[in-house]
Amino acid sequence: MLDLTKFTTEQRNQRSMDLDTMTSLQIVTTMNDEDLRAVQSVTKVLPQVATAIDWAAEALERGGRVFYMGAGTSGRLGVLDASECPPTFGVSPDLIVGLIAGGETAFIKAVEGAEDSEELGASDLRGLSDKDLVVGLAASGRTPYVVGGLVYAKATGCKTIAIACNQGSKIGESADLAIEPVPGPEVLTGSTRLKAGTVQKLILNMISTGAMVKIGKVYQNLMVDVQQTNEKLVVRGQNIVMEATGCTRECAIQALADAGGHVKTAIVSVLLDCDAEQAAVALERARGHVRAAVSGHEKSNADAQ
């Protein structure tokens, strides 16, 4: 029989032993205190998270993809982070991919036994390239589905990362890089959708955002490849051009129209006082980095003089 007592994520939290007798205010105060411990646990693994960002950026820059895979809450968090990348950063849905044991159905309703299959983890990654990066997520650190995926990915030549909430985890041993913050026992014993889920979400936020910064999807702290798919995002696109350049809304609207709605091109055209076609060329030379496109163009003009 599987022994769960050795996992901190399965142990009882001494600070919430009387949870069932607490007032509502006591419950939320206890949970908030424990959430602070969860955030603090991430501080200890920031160097490993920084490495994960570099690996993700490298994979994307060489034409690879980033896969998140997990079961239950961990899988759902991976799918959530992946699904937010296209609208936020303008990337293809095939670039950051979330896999959950049991498939899309399991996002809403658990698929019995799916997480216990190493073979399913390997099979969900068929078609992997050695340019890709695979990130396995499991609060316990032992989920067979994730272990199977990481072992398969490593054999394919991919770099692999494990994110677990117990140290010395099995998935950590199966990966090239282990990220193992320890948020401690849950307020509700074994309910890893709580602190462990929070910790995993924080780390995924860092990896995806950091990698997108590295590949030029951000200028200053603005999401300059945002997709304008609704009224709010159209206005946000205008606001981003205004913030980045100091121009008026009328100027931003015109620049966006000239650039076919491409925020980055509009920004560069305003900053360099050039047309959209010239701005697009400057961006292409700078591999999509706005700051490099602007400074590179200015340097070229200075050299020419």
Is 115 one of the catalytic residues? Answer: yes
If we measure between CA atoms, which residue out of 89, 102, 101 comes closest to residue 56? 89
Q: Give the active site residue among 34, 115, 180, 186.
A: 115
- Per the rule left: phi > 0, alpha: psi between -120 and 50, beta: everything else, 282 is alpha
CA separation for the pair 291, 289 (Å, rounded): 6
Q: Give the active site residue among 10, 58, 61, 84.
A: 84
State the maximum Cα–Cα separation within the chain, in Å, rounded to a whole number: 78
Is 118 one of the catalytic residues? Answer: no
Are 175 and 136 contacting, i.e. CB atoms less than 8 angstroms apart? yes
- Cβ-proximal residues to 63 (8 Å cutoff; 6+ apart), any chain: 131
CA separation for the pair 248, 237 (Å, rounded): 13
Q: What is the CA radius of gyration of the chain?
A: 22
CA separation for the pair 23, 8 (Å, rounded): 26
CA separation for the pair 305, 301 (Å, rounded): 6
Structure tokens that stand for 3 in this block: 């022994």
Buried b (16+ CB within 10 A) or exposed e, 24-50: eeeeeebbeebbebbeebbeebeebbe
If we measure between CA atoms, which residue out of 251, 227, 245 comes closest to residue 291? 245
Q: Which residue intervals of the chain are DSSP H helices?
A: 24-43, 46-61, 72-89, 118-123, 144-156, 170-174, 195-214, 231-245, 249-258, 263-272, 276-285, 290-304
Q: Which residues are catalytic?
A: 84, 115
